[in-house]
């Protein structure tokens, strides 16, 4: 998501006086987020810490994070995009249809109060979780929230940041963006990168049966993906690199055990605000690192004839 | 017993990537993870340096790593549309190698972000 209006967690700690969590439950999923970055710390421009900050939680149900918030807005499931769009209208003083407001599960009073508080803020942040980005509307929801944050800058400083889940998923986005120009779902079959989520994203490729081999790294789709995708992984030759023998390893042709990232494998990991942090492993693994195994597979592939890059003319006739 | 102390260790369990953890470890396991949250403690204390699994499996049978790497390269090279997926629990250095491999294969590379 290059181009998003964002900041680092250090800026949140030192400046943010208005914080929205949308579709996430940091109290249980990112336990130290409140104390280390977003709510409790005393910062340069928020010297009294939590007392200087207003915290809003937007979710479809009451989670443990509600206790940490000043305001809780309970949205009807699947209506996040509508709420965000109404907010975008309200900040510009445009008229909104009361029937559409009623459908969101919130009242116009709640929404106008939120808009007034957002505009009064000196530095506003919207953190959004998978409750927004993985439900009905998916990336359109994220886009609406990022647009709202960008548009709020006509009134005051406002930024948005995704609450990323597993360890270095941010690093995967950053590295792919750096190397290909795109963050995920990239197809190299024409010799140059093409990006199209929905067409080149994993679940879609597997469910349609397009992929005829799979290399799975530090992931266990055999435990998390829809059954038709898992069935296809079992049909094609699958190769798994993982510190454990996983569900996916059991249906794979090849499993290679690797050292655990950050515990016995050194390297770099990205925090959710795209700050790279060195890993400091405490143990010595009997297994090779992922980096080493992937490099060796790459070298073994490079020793074979290069059929795709063989004649350099594949790009000229493609649109 | 002397414990190896790692100050400012980094936890890669969640996206917070806390880098102020103090780890106390013997040769095999981490016995203490100071300042880590409940999820971080479980992450650090549940991984050991033991050989709990065979280095590699081919068709479910233990096999040498060299053979597994050779077969992996063969299977990926043979495929017309190989998919490379995951990468959220590996280092940036490994991710860089992965993208280079996917490009050489003429395949698709994708992460958890697309789920």
Where along chain B do its domains lie? Answer: 4-45, 57-114
Q: Is residue A313 part of a domain?
A: no
What pLDDT shows up at residue A319? 42
Asked if A31's CB is within 8 angstroms of B38's CB, the reply is: yes
Question: Is B25 an interface residue toward A (CB < 8 Å)?
Answer: yes
A129 and A13 in a common domain: yes
Bridging pattern class, strands A157-162 and A123-128: parallel
Same domain, A226 and A117: no
| Rounded Cα distance, A11 and B60, in Å | 49
Q: What φ, ψ does residue B52 adopt, rounded to 5°?
A: -85, -20
Q: Is the domain of A16 the same as that of A154?
A: yes
- Return the residue in B89, B101, B103, B104 with the most chain A beta carbons within 10 A, the one to mutate for interface testing: B89
Tokens standing for residue B43: 């992450």
Looking at the domain assignment, is residue A316 inside a domain? no
Chain A residue numbers touching B59 (CB-CB < 8 A): 253
Neighbouring C-beta atoms of residue A307, cutoff 10 Å: 10
3-class DSSP assignment, residue A239: strand
Domain closes at, from A147, A162, A177 = A162
* A217 falls within a domain: yes
B56 part of contact set with chain A, CB < 8 Å:
yes
Note whether A33 and A144 are same-domain residues: yes
The pair of three-digit structure tokens given for residue B88, joined into one six-digit string: 């959220």
Most A-contacting residue of B9, B17, B105 (CB-CB within 10 A), to test interface: B17
Query: What's the confidence (pLDDT) of residue A2?
Result: 55
Predicted confidence band of residue B80 (pLDDT cuts 50, 70, 90): very high
User: How much is the pLDDT for A185?
Assistant: 94
Among A113, A139, A162, the domain boundary falls at: A162
For residues A110 and A117, what is the distance between their CA atoms, to the nearest angstrom? 11
Nearest CB among B71, B99, B111 relative to A254 is that of B71
What CA–CA distance (Å, rounded) separates A96 from A102? 11
Residues A158 and A189 in one domain: no
| Substitution target from A255, A278, A314 for chain B, most B beta carbons within 10 A | A255
Domain assignment present for residue A309? The answer is: no
Residue A178 lies in a domain: yes
Q: Check whether residue A46 and residue A72 sit in a common domain.
A: yes
* Contact between A178 and B107 (Cβ < 8 Å): no
Instruction: Give the closest-approach CA distance of A189 to chain B in angstroms.
Output: 4
Question: Cβ–Cβ of B91/A171 closer than 8 Å?
Answer: yes
CA atoms in the 13 A half-sphere facing the CB of B73 = 21
- CB atoms A184 and B113 under 8 Å: yes
Shortest distance, CA A50 to any CA of chain B (angstroms): 19
Work out the angle at residue B31's Cα, subtended by the Cα atoms of residues B28 and B36, and round it to the nearest 5 degrees: 125
Question: CB-CB: which of A221, A282, A296 is closest to B85?
Answer: A221
Does residue A307 belong to any structural domain of this protein? no
Give the number of domains in chain A. 2
Q: Does residue A314 sit within a domain?
A: no
CA–CA distance, A152 with A139 (Å, rounded to integer) = 20
| Dihedral over alpha carbons B62, A244, A273, A204 (to 10 degrees) | 70
- Alpha helices by DSSP H, listed for A153-308, are 169-180, 202-208, 221-224, 227-235, 247-250, 290-302
Q: CA-nearest residue of chain B to A229?
A: B115
Contact A289, A259 (CB under 8 A): yes
Domain co-membership, A139 together with A197:
no
pLDDT of residue A311: 58
Backbone angles phi, psi at B36, to 5 degrees: -70, 150
Q: Looking only at Cα atoms, what is the longest distance across chain A? A: 67
Q: Which of A132, A162, A192 is the last residue of a domain?
A: A162
Axis crossing angle, helix A108-120 with helix A80-91, rounded to the nearest 10: 60
Cβ-defined contact of A237 to B10 (cutoff 8 Å): no
**Would the CB atoms of B95 and A176 count as touching at under 8 Å?**
yes
Q: Which residue of B has its CA nearest to A292?
A: B94
> In angstroms, what separates the C-alpha of B38 from chain A's closest C-alpha?
8
CATH of residue A112: 3.40.228.10
Chain A residues within 8 A of B19 when measuring between CB atoms: 277-278
pLDDT at A313: 46
Q: How many Cβ atoms are within 10 Å of B35's Cβ, its own excluded?
A: 14
Q: pLDDT tens per residue, chain A (319 residues)?
A: 457 899 999 999 999 999 999 999 999 999 999 999 999 999 999 999 999 999 999 999 999 999 999 999 999 999 999 999 999 999 999 999 999 999 999 999 999 999 999 999 999 999 999 999 888 888 899 999 999 999 999 999 999 999 998 889 999 999 999 999 999 999 999 889 999 988 999 999 999 999 999 999 999 998 889 999 999 999 999 999 999 999 999 999 999 999 999 999 999 999 999 999 999 999 999 999 999 999 999 999 999 988 777 755 444 444 4
B91/A301 touch (CB, cutoff 8 Å), yes or no? no
Judged by CB atoms closer than 8 Å, whether chains meet at A276 and B19 is answered as: no
The pLDDT of residue A317: 44
Structural domain that includes position A292: 169-302
Q: How far are the Cα atoms of A131, A175, B16 from residue A18, in angstroms, in the given order? A: 20, 31, 20
Cα–Cα distance measured from residue B89 to residue B30, given in angstroms and rounded to the nearest whole number = 19
Which are the contacts of A226, defined by CB distance < 8 A and separation ≥ 6?
A203, A207
Examine the domain organization and report whether A293 and A254 are in the same domain: yes
**Cβ pair B100:A298 closer than 8 A:** yes
| CA terminus-to-terminus distance, chain A | 24
The answer to whether B53 contacts chain A (CB < 8 Å) is yes
Query: Is A15 in the same domain as A84?
Result: yes
How does pLDDT run across B12-70, given as a tens digit for each residue? 999 999 999 999 999 999 999 999 999 999 999 999 999 999 999 999 999 999 999 99
CATH number of the domain at A282, please.
3.40.50.740
Question: d(Cα B50, Cα A207) in Å, to the nearest integer?
Answer: 37
Report residue A122: phi and psi, to 5°: -90, -35
How big is chain B, counted in residues?
115
Helix-strand-coil split of chain A, %, nearest 5: 40, 20, 45
Same domain, A232 and A116: no
Helix (H, G, I), strand (E, B) or coil at A99: helix
Rounded CA-CA distance A7/A158 in Å is 9
pLDDT reported for residue A66 = 96
Residue B84 bridge partners (DSSP) = A215, B109
Cβ-contact B55, A132 below 8 angstroms: no
- Residues A153, A48: contact at Cβ < 8 Å? no
Residues of chain A with C-beta less than 8 angstroms from the C-beta of B74: 300
B96 Cα to chain A: minimum distance (Å):
6
């Amino acid at each position: 998501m290059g181009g998003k209006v964002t900041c680092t967690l250090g800026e949140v700690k030192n400046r943010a006086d208005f914080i929205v969590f949308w579709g996430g439950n940091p109290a249980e999923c990112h336990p130290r987020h409140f104390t280390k970055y977003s709510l409790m710390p005393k910062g340069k421009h928020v010297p009294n810490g939590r007392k200087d900050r207003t915290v809003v939680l937007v979710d479809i149900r009451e989670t443990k994070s509600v206790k940490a918030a000043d305001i809780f807005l309970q949205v009807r499931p699947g209506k996040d995009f509508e709420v965000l769009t109404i907010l975008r209208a309200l900040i510009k003083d445009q008229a909104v249809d009361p029937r559409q407001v009623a459908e969101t599960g919130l009242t116009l009073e709640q929404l106008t109060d939120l808009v007034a508080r957002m505009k009064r803020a000196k530095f506003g942040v919207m953190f959004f979780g998978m409750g927004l980005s993985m439900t009905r509307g998916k990336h359109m929801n994220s886009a609406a929230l990022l647009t709202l944050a960008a548009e709020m800058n006509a009134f005051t400083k406002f930024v948005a940041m995704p609450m990323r889940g597993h360890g270095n998923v941010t690093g995967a986005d950053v590295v792919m963006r750096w190397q290909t120009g795109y963050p995920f779902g990239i197809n190299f079959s024409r010799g140059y990168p093409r990006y199209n989520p929905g067409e080149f994203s994993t679940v879609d490729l597997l469910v349609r049966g397009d992929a005829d081999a799979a290399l799975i790294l530090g992931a266990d789709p055999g435990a998390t993906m829809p059954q038709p995708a898992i069935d296809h992984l079992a049909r094609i030759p699958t190769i798994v690199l993982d510190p454990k023998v996983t569900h996916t390893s059991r249906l794979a042709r090849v499993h290679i055990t690797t050292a655990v990232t950050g515990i016995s494998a050194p390297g770099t990991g990205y925090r959710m605000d795209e700050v790279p942090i060195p890993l400091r492993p405490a143990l010595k693994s009997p297994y090779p690192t992922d980096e080493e195994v992937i490099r060796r597979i790459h070298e073994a592939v490079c020793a074979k004839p290069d059929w795709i890059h063989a004649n350099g003319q594949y790009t000229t006739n493609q649109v | 017993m002397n414990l190896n102390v790692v100050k400012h260790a980094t936890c890669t369990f969640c996206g917070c990537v806390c880098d102020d953890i103090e780890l106390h470890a013997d040769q095999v396991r981490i016995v203490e993870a100071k300042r880590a949250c409940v999820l971080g403690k479980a992450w650090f204390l549940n991984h050991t340096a033991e050989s709990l699994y065979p280095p590699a499996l081919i068709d479910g049978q233990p096999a040498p790593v060299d053979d597994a790497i050779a077969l992996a390269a063969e299977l990926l090279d043979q495929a017309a549309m190989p998919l490379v997926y995951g990468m959220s629990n590996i280092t940036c250095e490994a991710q860089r190698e992965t993208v280079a491999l996917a490009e050489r294969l003429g395949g698709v590379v994708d992460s958890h972000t697309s789920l």
